[in-house]
């Protein structure tokens, strides 16, 4: 099997949101958890890759207007300098430099910046796009049509399942459904460190890898549990370290630039 690596993985800070642990994990306690909303920049010999795009920049200046009531419900804290375009600038990149965007799922805290990259190729699991355009009623507030509509003519590649995105083993997009129909994770092979698996929202907090309890808001709890089991197996076999993207302790403990 080919075992290429990316050149560098950079975690970009974004908004903060707050949710109760009981919503994040079935059986969780009734306490608020502050969750980071990062995106990830990946330097690869074939070009710059972005994993997720964070919240729409307009949600920073007009949260209630752009997100609606869910901005208050999620206790959104988001400033314009935390938007993904500004974060790229901090690392010397322009939005035009991003060649590939990998999308874990289309919730508003992951898909808000899609429209910033009209020239990129987008990778997503099949089923996510149609669901995001017409979700179940209870999930409707989590998808913003305004995040999606400007991207209808973009170069979307809908994948049937696990895919070696660059053909060199360096970036494996894994189908880990449950939170949404097309939820996915990204396994990143690094030159000098153990591979890291970025969970998307397959897990929201680290404790879920122990309890295997899905999130209350998951689309399909049974599939969510199976995907959590898969992540745990990857970790236990030593295939990758797991970075639960919304987990505050993971955000605090992983280095934000890894080679």
Task: List interacting residues with Zn ion (CB under 5 A).
Answer: 109, 201
Q: How far is the CB of 253 from Zn ion (least distance, A)?
A: 19
The nearer residue to Zn ion, 9 or 218, going by C-beta atoms, is 218
Least distance (Å) from Zn ion to the CB of residue 239?
24
Q: How far is the CB of 164 from Zn ion (least distance, A)?
A: 25
Which of 151/199 has CB closer to Zn ion?
199
* Residue 5 or 214 having the CB closest to Zn ion: 214
Shortest distance (Å) from residue 76 CB to Zn ion: 12
Quick one: 39 or 170, whose CB is closer to Zn ion? 39
Nearest-approach distance from CB 109 to Zn ion, in angstroms: 4
**Of residues 184, 209, 208, the one with CA closest to residue 198:** 184
Q: Decide whether 44 or 179 has the Cβ nearer to Zn ion.
A: 179
Output 187 or 244, the one with its CB closest to Zn ion: 244
Instruction: Name the helix (H) or strand (E) containing 185.
Output: strand 184-188
Shortest Å distance, C-beta 92 to Zn ion: 27
The CA dihedral of 237, 241, 245, 249, to the nearest 10 degrees, is: 110
- Alpha-carbon distance of 220 to 223, in angstroms, equals 5
């Amino acid at each position: 099997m080919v075992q290429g690596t990316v050149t560098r993985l950079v975690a970009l800070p974004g908004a903060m949101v707050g949710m109760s642990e009981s919503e994040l994990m079935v059986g969780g306690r009734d306490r608020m958890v502050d969750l980071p909303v990062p995106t990830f920049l990946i330097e690869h010999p074939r070009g710059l890759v972005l994993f997720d795009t964070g919240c729409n920049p307009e949600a920073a200046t007009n949260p209630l207007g752009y997100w609606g009531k869910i901005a208050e419900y999620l206790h959104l804290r988001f400033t314009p300098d935390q938007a993904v375009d500004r974060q790229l600038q901090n690392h010397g990149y322009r939005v035009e430099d991003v060649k590939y965007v990998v999308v874990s799922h289309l919730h508003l805290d992951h898909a808000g910046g899609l429209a910033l990259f009209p020239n990129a190729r987008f990778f997503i699991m099949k089923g996510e796009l149609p669901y995001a355009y017409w979700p179940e009623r209870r999930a409707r507030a989590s998808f913003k049509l305004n995040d999606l509509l400007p991207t209808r003519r973009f170069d979307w590649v809908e994948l049937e399942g696990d895919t070696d995105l660059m053909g060199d083993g360096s970036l494996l997009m894994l189908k880990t459904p449950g939170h949404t129909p097309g939820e996915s994770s990204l396994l990143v092979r690094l030159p000098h460190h153990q591979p890291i698996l970025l969970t998307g929202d397959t897990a929201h907090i680290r404790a879920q890898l122990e309890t295997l309890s899905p999130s209350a808001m998951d689309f399909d709890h049974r599939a969510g549990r199976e995907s959590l089991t898969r992540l745990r197996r990857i970790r236990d076999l030593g295939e990758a370290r797991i970075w639960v993207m919304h987990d505050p302790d993971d955000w605090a403990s992983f280095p934000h630039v890894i080679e």
